[in-house]
Structure 1
Amino acid sequence: MKPATTTPWMGRGFWNSTQKYPDHPAVEINGVSLSYLELFSRAKKIAHLLTREVPSPSQPLTAVFAARSASAFAGILGTLFRGHGYVPLNPKFPAERTQHMLKASGCAAIIVDRNAQPLLKETLNGMDGLVLIFPEHDDTDDLQAEYPTHRVFTSTDLAEPEHWVQPETRADDIAYLLFTSGSTGNPKGVMISHANIDHFLNAMMYRYQFDQHDRFSHMFDLVFDLSVFDLFMAWEAGGCVCCPQDSDLLLPADYIQTSRLSVWFSVPSVAVLSLRLRQLEPGRFDKLKWNLFCGEALPSDAASAWATAASNGVLENLYGPTELTLACALYRWNGSASLEESHNGIVPIGSPYPGMQALISADDGFTPASAGDEGELLMAGPQVALGYWNDPEKTKAAFQPHPETGVIYYRTGDLVRRSAHDKHMEYVGRVDNQIKIHGMRVELGEIEATIKALTNAPRVVAVGWPADANGISGVTCFVEGDVKDSAQILQSAKSRLPAYMVPKKLISVADFPLNSNGKIDRKALLASLRRKD
């Protein structure tokens, strides 16, 4: 049967491509391809097992503890084919953090690949009663003995269903739940619906007209929302997701060429490093048709150099936080004209997608900023997320109804302004203490809470440092009082925070500088670091 298209459903594109291009490669991993039909078969088996073993509560979610593997992709698709939303978990994250996400999401089942299996026992410490699915193993008895308080299933338990029908889902059901850095010390879950992602995919397909011949990069970890583009945009078009080796992630030039990529998508940091290391020779990426960057500010010199390397393609800068479903605004690079339009060496973020509305607010409410003035960017439209998982207070604060129209706007916390002649939006900075490191969103409050707990200090202030014209590359923490054994504290932090969030340095201060409002003066702290640099 053919899935209905009247109700948005995230698995629809893959299913349609399986019908049209069953033998085309859907993914390529370490030089080995899986066709749409082969990946569909694996996904159906997982969906069938979930149907049998996991009852359907309201808002059902299933965890996928995996990274760039056939089991990861089959697990995500199998979860969707069951009618569940998927919750990606990163094998590179500390076990304590992953366990928090797993517990908070309430997942009854977790799909585990070989990358994640060595970390599973520590992650599940103190937990029981879960359905554990190991698609790459065939010895159920041995694994059941290892996890006696859980129900274990391996490849021998994954049977092909006689029939498969599209699950009954609603447009506002959760398609995926992504945890982002939280200001109180714990990650917060962003709920993205089938309707949210459906609008994004449709907008992108209309704009780029991808087809079954396109080969897509896959530079983003599955816990990063931009990975959804890599997978589901490719599968919507009938294209192939080409997985890089870990060594390709920082210097991808050879990967781009050997994988014969036609669609590139990454954080700007990759372009910046490639430029710095002289990897962007003119015409080197002549097979790339689309060159897309998102996740952090795009420096104009890096954009210019990449566009020259991909001389036969188009380069666009995309903008959007997780709460707005990957990206909601874009700007097309136009050579020397774009260099002139860039502000302080940063490429504009452009204009909203069709159906999305932007409001630049001059205050904490909905008062529009004057032309040319900066203000907080508020966005409304079909890509605005459902809110934060089990956190109505944070949801209410970030997702606010317009007092006149009742339309829900998401407050991005980003400072922007309209360019001259109101042509497009320019990114200025952050309203709050949230920063981005290599495209990954970081709440400084989460780092402060962790270091405060480890040091028992009265106050801790984290700032984005080191930093240069290309952006922030790390975090430095100021700690009130004496810090004993900084090395040990930072080592302990590694078990609680992802590597990119662990501070580069701890600095002891007797007291903190204050601004005119009596608040800690973060700008003064940053200035002290610049003076020492």
Structure 2
Amino acid sequence: MTTALDQRLGAGLLHHASTHPGRVALSIGRRDYTYEEAAVTARRWAAALVEAVGGRPRRVGVFAHRSEVSYLGVAAVLCAGAAFVPLNRKFPQERTRTMLERADVDAVLVDAASAPRLAELLPQIPGRPAVLLPDARRADVPGLAGHPVLDAVDLAGFSPLRALPEPAPDDPAYLLFTSGSTGVPKGVPVTHANVRAFLRANQDRYRLTPEDRLSQTFDQTFDLSVFDLFMAWENGAAVCAMDPIELLAPFKYLERNGITVWFSVPSVAAVLRKRGALRPGSMPTLRWSLFCGEALPRATAEAWQAAAPHSTVENLYGPTELTIACTVHRWDPVTSPAACVHDNVPIGRPYPGLHTLVVDERLAEVPEGEPGELCVAGPQTTPGYWRAPELTAERYFEHAGRTYYRTGDLVRHLDGQYVCLGRNDQQVKVGGHRVELGEIEAALRRAGALEAVCLLRPDDQTITAVVSGAVDPDALADACAADLPAYMVPKSVHVVEEMPVNTNGKVDRAALRTRLTKQEQEREREQTAGRR
């Protein structure tokens, strides 16, 4: 049974705490949290946030990973009337510092495993945000001088916040940072109205019940995690946080936890398929299997459908700027294979209430069936980039009284649905993460490269860097590892004397690919000759 959507994101958690307090809301490892326990904890931490900040906070960082603090911390921030800013201790320190600085947070909720990072992080942040340590003691955490601090002992003494601030529909519910072409992460504020529109569309589509148990496979810096938490809590269901190691062989976990709704990036399923692990009938508990974040290969969809025979498989599509997902294709074993393009599943039809355009470089609509850039308007379209009006003007435009977002994805409208043909810029998906190749190139230049070009080769999940200048490729790779998340670090760095250019004087990426291919072929010939 679904609940009526409230203006407040997270209202479902509070509703079911009063109607079904003993039901499981969250499962982490072997630890279950009931709706009552989760709601009381969230409201108690919310009271602490209000006390620490001296009123309603605006934005609060959640610096935690797959822990009680990471999930219930999000609920606490929303109960306090603020926007949550997910942070990831696996990210390089400088990236996290930039995100905190740009978000201008009033407070940070930190779990015990992330707390050791604070000693280096806090002195670099302007202002003095309050620090809440729900599962740690301040005496065990260095570097807190000058900051208001509430630790586990302090928080245990708070009563749950009674009067919850009412957010306006246009207030941000969360602020996510995505890869930026200038080398600086872009902030995307997603409003309560944006998320309500997304949840409403999916409430009608999936009809989840309190008996459902949803997988949670994403880091919370990935916006797809919002689906897991709030689709579960809106319906009195349970969200089950999976350890990343369990994704390598999820079958026992799914059976043991009775998972009914699976949601992941397609690469998780693709790896299982390549290993021959997707045996027919091996995931009998699933009734929904959802994929998003990158292209879903046809063969992966077919293998997953066979492994989860009672499940409906769907391919979702959408950038953060359009609130998690905005189109969907329901896999049909009979008709869908013929609709695939480049052997990838279609991205489908837009959600109800969304308006789409397919345009050329001049933003003029292209004829039906012709390729062009997908642009989307409607209640899920976010208001623009955080404190970046020039960047907003580049990606958002007005047409026929609506504000459209330019996705940068080339699509074609065929037989009533969209198929994705690829990117029209340097923004790519690697392991489900959106990556601006320009950000990696900027990091390489900062590390000493004269010129830097990043390519996806030999496959679309492997980043290869080509640089010029008197540089050490190993040192460049190390510099990237210190500056960028692991999924953005080039797997190899090739040094060339100069970059090939085309007639316009721009770097000729096709020529670079050809050059690298020839070099690899020459090395293979030399190795073959050496073995004779």
Q: Tell me if TM exceeds 0.5.
A: yes
Native 8 Å contact 2:42 2:79 kept in 1: yes
Cα 1:162–1:489, aligned 2, differ >3 Å: closer, same or farther? closer
Specify the alignment match of 2:528 in structure 1.
none
Match of 1:496 among 479, 483, 503: 483
Specify the alignment match of 1:157 in structure 2.
154
Match of 1:386 among 379, 383, 388: 383
Give unpaired runs (5+ residues) of structure 2. Answer: 522-532
Q: Are 2:337 and 1:339 aligned? A: yes
Q: Are 2:471 and 1:483 aligned? A: yes
Take 2:167 and 2:239, find their aligned partners in 1: how far apart are those partners?
26
Native 8 Å contact 1:379 1:410 kept in 2: yes
- 3-state SS, counterpart of residue 123 of structure 2: coil
Native 8 Å contact 1:436 1:442 kept in 2: yes
Native 8 Å contact 1:358 1:380 kept in 2: yes
Specify the alignment match of 2:499 in structure 1.
512
Specify the alignment match of 2:527 in structure 1.
none
Specify the alignment match of 1:105 in structure 2.
103
Output aligned runs, 1:252-263, within 5 Å: 252-263=250-261
- 3-state SS, counterpart of residue 494 of structure 1: helix
Take 1:219 and 1:38, find their aligned partners in 2: how far apart are those partners?
23
Task: Calculate percent identity across the aligned residue pairs.
Answer: 41
Q: CA deviation at 1:55?
A: 3.9
Specify the alignment match of 2:317 in structure 1.
319
Specify the alignment match of 2:19 in structure 1.
20
Take 2:223 and 2:345, find their aligned partners in 1: how far apart are those partners?
22
State the AA in 2 paired with 1:407: R
Q: TM-score, normalised by structure 1?
A: 0.93
Specify the alignment match of 1:219 in structure 2.
217
Q: TM-score, normalised by structure 2?
A: 0.94
Native 8 Å contact 2:284 2:309 kept in 1: yes
Specify the alignment match of 2:525 in structure 1.
none
Take 1:251 and 1:169, find their aligned partners in 2: how far apart are those partners?
41
Q: Are 2:411 and 1:409 aligned? A: no
Native 8 Å contact 1:7 1:171 kept in 2: no
Q: CA deviation at 1:7?
A: 6.3
Native 8 Å contact 2:40 2:160 kept in 1: no
Specify the alignment match of 1:372 in structure 2.
369
Take 1:237 and 1:530, find their aligned partners in 2: how far apart are those partners?
52
Q: Are 2:416 and 1:434 aligned? A: no
Specify the alignment match of 1:464 in structure 2.
456
Take 2:446 and 2:354, find their aligned partners in 1: how far apart are those partners?
41
Give unpaired runs (5+ residues) of structure 1. Answer: none
Cα 1:474–1:124, aligned 2, differ >3 Å: closer, same or farther? farther
Specify the alignment match of 1:521 in structure 2.
508
Provide Cα deviations, 1:84-108, integer angstroms capped at 9, x if missing partner.
0000000110111101100110002
Specify the alignment match of 2:62 in structure 1.
64
Provide Cα deviations, 1:351-378, integer angstroms capped at 9, x if missing partner.
000001111102232x211222110000
How many residue pairs match? The answer is 516
Q: What is the CA RMSD across the aligned residues, in angstroms?
A: 1.8
Q: CA deviation at 1:6?
A: 8.3
Take 1:7 and 1:106, find their aligned partners in 2: how far apart are those partners?
27
Specify the alignment match of 1:473 in structure 2.
461
Take 1:333 and 1:5, find their aligned partners in 2: how far apart are those partners?
29
Q: Are 2:32 and 1:33 aligned? A: yes
Cα 1:123–1:364, aligned 2, differ >3 Å: closer, same or farther? farther
Take 1:27 and 1:5, find their aligned partners in 2: how far apart are those partners?
21
- 3-state SS, counterpart of residue 315 of structure 1: strand
State the AA in 2 paired with 1:465: R
Take 1:162 and 1:213, find their aligned partners in 2: how far apart are those partners?
28
Q: CA deviation at 1:431?
A: 0.6
- 3-state SS, counterpart of residue 408 of structure 1: strand
Take 1:409 and 1:82, find their aligned partners in 2: how far apart are those partners?
32
Take 1:223 and 1:78, find their aligned partners in 2: how far apart are those partners?
17
Take 2:378 and 2:235, find their aligned partners in 1: how far apart are those partners?
24
State the AA in 1 paired with 2:61: A
